[in-house]
């Protein structure tokens, strides 16, 4: 047992995390890929195994195959709200809290509630329900993430008004990507399985163009890959694993103020594009002032290199350390770099004799990393 006593805040955080319900999200790239269908399918499996699971809100959009999946699931009543003289229905948060099931299904996480509802947004309803220890299964399309709003507009020409903060997705305990090829989704659309037949021709010419769907699908798959990568990184840190697992490529380009660094950056951009991976352009400001005389001209040249790197899509990092090789190795290990690009050393034989080779030192300090030594000059 540790002698360290928890602060009241730490104890409260632990209590809240233990009592909070879990959030599972079925994530898709467009309407009609099958998120609600998948959610209901899982709910029926859980019901079969005796879990207390009910429907809080499911939007079937008139789709018969969605209705057929409700099966024996209990459906909680919705709350009726009078708005502009019209009776509309919304999720009844209080009814869910009173019923207190183990798990509740709540469709369309990014939905904006009708004025007069308990909360402004449905995700706020979900957060309240989770805080009472009730598990929630929900659905979301990638275009509703706030950080992607401008990207979605650029791709589709449509401004999505219903958005939610990205951290809601990050808070999810589990995210399941519901995937369907663009061709299959367009076929579903033509069969009338997504929208009414009269809406289909216009939908295919606008949001559901194949180019749009391919771009949105890639956004979802990249989001899923980032989530998995974060989970793997956390696991490796917990287990003290320092070796690189080549689950995904990560590239580091080592540059200096040398004019030849632009060649290294361009080579890095081509490799990063080939693997569609993240890449870092890194320079080290050595504190060994006796050897390294960094002039104003050098700084301007380095800034020019960094500008090119940013234009080509790299993350640009400036590090400071006494040993260039050791500083690079620490960064590479922290970021799980799998490939490093360096230029041939410009050191003289005398300098190499006294100070050693940066490349050779780096090879000894990093494991399972491919090092590309590029000829310069």
* 175/290 Cα distance (integer angstroms): 53
pLDDT, averaged across the chain? 85
Rounded to an integer, the average pLDDT of 37-64 is 90
Tokens of 74: 């209990």
What's residue 214's pLDDT?
Answer: 94
Identify the pLDDT of residue 3: 47
Residue limits of CATH 3.40.50.620 in the chain: 250-374
The residues, ordered by sequence, that sit 6+ positions from 161 with a Cβ below 8 Å of its Cβ are 112
What are the counts of helices (DSSP H) followed by strands (DSSP E) for the chain? Answer: 15, 13
Strands 135-141 and 86-90, by their bridges, are: unpaired
> Tell me: the pLDDT tens digits for 238-255?
666 556 555 578 999 999
* Residue that wins the pLDDT comparison between 19 and 350: 19
**pLDDT (0 to 100) of residue 153:** 92
CATH 3.40.50.300 domain residues, the chain? 8-237
Angle at Cα 190 formed by Cα 189 and Cα 191, nearest 5°?
90
pLDDT of residue 280: 96
pLDDT score for 236 = 56
- Cα separation, 97 vs 176, whole angstroms: 26
Rounded mean pLDDT, 306-318? 94
292 has pLDDT over 70? no
Q: Is the pLDDT of residue 217 over 80?
A: yes
Q: What does the DSSP assignment read for 274-316?
A: HHT-EEEEEEEEES-TTT----HHHHHHHHHHHHHHHHTTPEE
Architecture, CATH, for domain 250-374? 3-Layer(aba) Sandwich (3.40)
Lowest mean pLDDT among 174-183, 221-230, 304-313, 361-370: 221-230
Task: Report how far residue 344's alpha carbon sits from residue 356's, in angstroms, rounded to the nearest whole number.
Answer: 13
pTM for the full model? 0.64
Quote the pLDDT of residue 350. Answer: 41
Q: DSSP letters along 216-270, please?
A: HHHHHHHHHHHHHHHHHHHHHHHTT--SPPTTS-EEEEE--SSTTHHHHHHHHHH
Is the Cβ–Cβ distance between 162 and 223 less than 8 Å? Answer: no
Model confidence pLDDT, tens digit, residues 53-97? 999 999 876 677 777 788 889 999 999 998 888 888 999 999 999
CA distance readout (Å), 111 to 57, 162, 317: 11, 6, 39
Distance, CA of 136 to CA of 157 (rounded, Å) = 33
Question: Is residue 34 over pLDDT 70?
Answer: yes
Reading the block at residue 284, the tokens are 């080290």
pLDDT value at 10 more than 60: no
Please determine, for residue 144, whether its predicted confidence score (pLDDT) is greater than 80.
yes
- Average pLDDT, stretch 170-182? 92
Which of 29-33, 252-256, 324-328, 356-360 is least confident? Answer: 356-360
Does the domain spanning 8-237 belong to CATH 3.40.50.300? yes
Tokens of 326: 């050791």
Give the range with max mean pLDDT: 13-27, 128-142, 331-345: 128-142
Statement: residue 330 has pLDDT above 80: yes
Q: How far apart are CA 300 and CA 317, in angstroms?
A: 16
Q: Please, which pLDDT band fits residue 363 given cuts at 50, 70 and 90?
A: confident
């Amino acid at each position: 047992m540790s002698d360290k006593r928890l602060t009241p805040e730490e104890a409260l955080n632990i209590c809240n995390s233990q009592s909070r319900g879990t959030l599972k999200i079925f994530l898709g790239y467009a309407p009609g890929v099958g998120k609600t269908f998948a959610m209901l399918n899982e709910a029926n499996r859980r019901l079969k195994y005796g879990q207390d699971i009910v429907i809080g809100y499911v939007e079937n959009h008139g789709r018969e195959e969605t209705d057929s999946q409700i099966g024996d699931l209990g459906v909680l009543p919705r709350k009726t709200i009078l708005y502009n003289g019209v009776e509309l229905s919304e999720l009844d948060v209080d009814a869910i809290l009173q019923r207190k099931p183990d798990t509740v299904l709540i469709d369309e996480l990014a939905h904006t509630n009708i004025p007069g509802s308990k909360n402004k947004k449905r995700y706020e309803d979900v957060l309240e329900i989770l805080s009472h220890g009730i598990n929630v299964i929900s659905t979301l399309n990638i275009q509703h993430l706030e950080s992607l709003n401008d990207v979605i507009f650029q791709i589709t020409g449509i401004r999505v008004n219903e958005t939610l903060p990205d951290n809601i997705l990050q808070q999810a305990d589990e995210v399941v990507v519901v995937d369907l090829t663009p061709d299959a989704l367009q076929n579903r659309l033509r069969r009338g399985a997504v929208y009414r037949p009269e809406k289909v021709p216009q939908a295919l010419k606008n949001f559901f163009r194949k180019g749009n769907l391919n771009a949105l699908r890639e956004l979802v798959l990249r989001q899923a890959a980032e989530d998995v990568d974060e989970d793997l990184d956390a696991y490796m840190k917990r287990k003290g694993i320092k070796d690189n697992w080549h689950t995904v490529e990560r590239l580091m380009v080592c540059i200096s103020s040398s004019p030849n660094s632009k060649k290294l950056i361009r080579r890095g951009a081509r490799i990063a594009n080939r693997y569609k991976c993240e890449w870092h352009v890194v320079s080290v400001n050595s504190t060994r002032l006796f050897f390294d005389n960094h002039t104003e001209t050098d700084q301007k040249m380095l800034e020019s290199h960094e500008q090119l790197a940013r234009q080509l899509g790299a993350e640009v990092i400036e590090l400071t350390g006494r040993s260039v090789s050791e500083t690079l190795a620490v960064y590479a290990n922290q970021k799980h770099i799998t490939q490093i690009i360096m230029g041939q050393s410009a050191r003289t034989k005398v300098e190499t004799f006294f100070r050693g080779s940066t490349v050779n030192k780096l090879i000894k300090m990093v494991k399972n990393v491919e090092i590309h030594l590029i000829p310069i000059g």
